[in-house]
Structure 1
Amino acid sequence: MAFSRCHNPPNLQCFLDSVTPVVPSRTASKSHIHDINHLWQPAGKEMIKYFELKDLWHSYEEWSAFGVSTKVVLSDGETVKQYYVPYLSAIQIYTNQTIVCNRNKAEGNVAVEFESDSWSDDTGSDKLSRSLSNDSSKAWDSISEDSSSDQPVSWSMRNKLGSIYLEYFEACSPNWRIPLSNKMTELTKDHQALTTLRSMDISPASWMAVAWYPIYHIPNSSNDKDLLTCFLTYHTLSSSFLESADDVYEDDQCHPLYMDSKLKRVGSDKIRLSPFGLAAYKMRGDLWVKPETFEHLKFTQLHDAAHSWAKQLNVYHHDLNFFSRDSIV
């Protein structure tokens, strides 16, 4: 996906560009690496482009603390800056067991993390029964009860994708969540390879979903209800589907990184993890997606891709099912 070269890109595209993490790109030769699964790497390429997971977590630190801004043009022509905070919605990391063990030993951590339960205990399920004042929280509780009837995950299929190193699905109400950066710090305590793994170490089935909740907009005089829209974005964590950040210019006004006047271009030394799937909640009117436009087609494709991904991996993604109850698709 390339950034729009126009000065006023559609609101949806501007949001997607704004919440796309950009990480340092690194390269390695296949012939000089012996501890990776070559079937997981792009075919026909001797040089592997990859990133380190710790750089990805770092890219969310400022957004988690202060929010990330996206430009929104309202129906009356007024332009506002809408701020969103990211929350980890779901993550699955499949890898070679030997890779993780070796990297933990290199860090002085002898314990093998695969010996522990790969399912996260900290899903907040005990908080689901708490009484909250808003209707969305009640709906959240009801859909949590529905999840108990979902089909169990096929472990035989997972084995073909690699060993599951980390699996986490958030299930508590947004009111009880902590920002993504804080959650990753919490998960790293029991999964220390999150700071040493590289994208080329992990299976193409590895992914994460980020929930984006609005916190405020500037100026704050507008009462547009569409500024309450929440989003869910899906991102790959594997080297198999990476996208370079070539041909990105500072006059693309969406991504905060490109608003720095000193940064005229982001070249092949960066990797953009653009969303491959998308869902929205409380999307009313046509502020974000206008009917019979390219943006509507794009939203539909990304929405379908999110559901297709969950279906292929046979996972129950709580947030996706909740957001889909309010979908325009």
Structure 2
Amino acid sequence: MASTSRQGDSNLLSFINSTTPSVLTHNLPKWSFQDWDNLWLPAGRDTVEFFNLRDLWNQYTEWSAYGAGVEVLLPGGDKVDQFFVPSLSAIQIYTSKSHAASRNGLSNCWSNGTAYKKLVNPRRSAADTSSDVEGTRQAQDKWGYLYFQFIENASPYGRSPLLEKVQELANIYPGLMSFKSAELSPASWMSVAWYPIYQIPRRQNVKDLSACFLTFHSLTLPYQDHMQRSTVKSLSHTGAWRNGSISEEKSNRISLHPFGLTTSRARGNLWVNPESGDNEKIASLHEAANCWLSQLKVHHDDFNFFVTH
């Protein structure tokens, strides 16, 4: 029987490469920001590197309309372009309160060599009683204020594509389009659900092409910069990134690689190539997502569904 994939090939990493947004970054002196004292910056920084949230959503324009094409290596050596449509699964945007507190509020957490951030004392939920007011105030001082959150619970068949959903939500929360990443707390994040819609050329009876993915992304640069260096370093040992596609970034762009990921209906070896270290990588990314949600005390419907399916 032919091998599912050749040594060094990884359909999982092909998916990550093909669905990771790349955004234009900008640099401005911090005094050009109206509220520069509340920017989330490392100590001693006089310039602000940031991206605009509007530019991030624009990266999903074509994917929302036609799907994101992912090259998949099939058993026997044939290739197919599998297309996935993105939907906004969850998002939390925390606005800045004290950037000095944020630097002390996040600690490194490691799982199988992959770094992610652990919230030491997450923000309390809105259901807290009056006796928890002081704890909520302390959490706000560390993480900022929860400007907006959205957790999708509709059936995948009843969802709007990501860009359409963001535009709808921005009518009520305009910061979704106007915020700069430097104005957000490092606790800000989103997850994207990717569902298969078609493939070219069309293939029948390839069950694993029905796999779905859930990716988690930071919405701020300081955390993402650390995360990206760690991810690149970790993956460089496996030789799995084809064509060096994430190791050579343009100086004025950054790719928001997922810090967490989980899958549904991705059983078998089509998406996971043991020779590329995929099993370890997907376990690490899954644990990172689980840790993040646990620390923020987020009940994430899609994550729970994916874990059990």
TM-score by length of 1: 0.71
Equivalence for 1:287: 270
AA aligned to 2:215 is T
**Of 203, 210, 213, which aligns to 1:228?**
210
- The aligned amino acid for 1:71 is E
Give the CA deviation at 1:163: 1.0
Instruction: Give yes or no for contact 2:64–2:161 (8 Å, CA) kept in 1.
Output: yes
Matched AA of 1:308: C
**Structure 2 matches for 1:157-172, cutoff 5 A?**
158-159=139-140, 160-172=142-154
The aligned counterpart of 1:211 is 193
Letter in 1 for 2:209: L
Distance 1:42 1:277 in 2: 24
Instruction: String of CA shifts for 1:86-121, please: whole Å, max 9, x gaps.
Output: 0000000000389xxxxxxxxxxxxxxxxxxxxxxx
Counterpart residue identity of residue 215, structure 1: I
CA pair 84-42 structure 1, distance change in 2 beyond 3 A: farther
Shift of 1:240: 1.8
Contact 2:39 2:183 (8 Å CA) reproduced: no
- Give 3-state SS (helix, strand or coil) of 1:194's partner: helix
Distance change (3 Å), C-alpha of 1:198 and 1:300: same
Aligned AA for 1:55?
Answer: D
Does residue 274 in structure 1 map to residue 251 in structure 2?
Answer: no
CA-to-aligned-CA distance 1:195-242 (integer Å, 9 cap, x gap): 211000000000000000000111113421110000000000012223
Contact 2:263 2:307 survives alignment (8 Å)? yes
Residue identity in the other structure for 2:27? T
1:302 and 2:306 correspond: no
Distance change in 2, residues 1:196/1:39 (3 Å): closer
- The structural deviation recorded for 1:252 is 5.4
Which residue does 1:22 correspond to in 2?
22
Number of residue pairs the alignment of both structures matches:
258
Q: Whole-Å Cα distance in 2 between the matches of residues 222 and 88 of structure 1? A: 28
Match of 2:92 in 1: 92
Hey, what does 1:145 align to over in structure 2?
Answer: none
Distance in 1 of aligned mates of 2:79 and 2:46: 47
Aligned-partner Cα distance in 2 for 1:63–1:161: 32
- How many Å separate the matches in 2 of 1:307 and 1:151? 21
Any conservation in 1 of the 2:64–2:85 contact (CA below 8 Å)? yes
Separation in 2, partners of 1:272, 1:320: 23
Counterpart of 2:77, as a letter, is G
Match of 2:164, as an amino acid?
N
Q: Which residue matches 2:175? A: 193
Q: Residues of 2 paired with 1:163 and 1:16: CA distance? A: 31
Partner of 2:298: 315
Alignment of 1:238-277 (within 5 A): 238-243=220-225, 266-277=249-260
The one-letter code matched in structure 1 to 2:308 is: R
Amino acid at match of 2:154: C
- Taking the aligned partners of 2:211 and 2:178, their CA distance within structure 1 comes to 35
CA pair 297-37 structure 1, distance change in 2 beyond 3 A: farther
| 1:74-89 correspondence to structure 2 within 5 Å | 74-89=74-89
| Letter paired with 1:204 | P
Q: Distance in 1 between matches of 2:35 and 2:293?
A: 29
CA contact (8 A) 1:42 1:239 kept: no
Q: Indicate if the aligned counterparts of 1:27 and 1:49 stay in contact, CA closer than 8 A.
A: yes
Give the share of equivalent positions with the same residue, in percent: 41
Q: What do residues 290-319 of structure 1 show as CA deviations (whole Å, max 9, x unaligned)?
A: 347511111111000000000111111110
Give distance in 1, aligned partners of 2:197 and 2:139.
37
Cα offset, 1:31, TM superposition: 5.3
Structure 2 counterpart of 1:185, one-letter code: Q
* Cα distance, 1:239–1:176 mapped onto 2, change above 3 Å: same
Moved more, 176-185 or 235-244: 235-244
What is the deviation of 1:39?
A: 7.0
Deviation at 1:41, TM superposition (A): 2.1
State the one-letter code of the partner of 1:84.
F
Q: Quick check: 84-93 or 193-202, which moved more?
A: 193-202
Deviation at 1:77, TM superposition (A): 1.1
Cα RMSD, aligned residues only? 3.1
Moved more, 56-65 or 284-293: 284-293
* Matched letter for residue 300 of structure 2: H
Is this contact kept in 1: 2:188–2:219, CA < 8 A?
Answer: yes
Three-state SS of the structure 2 residue aligned to 1:191 is: coil
Structure-2 separation of matches of 1:23 and 1:31: 23
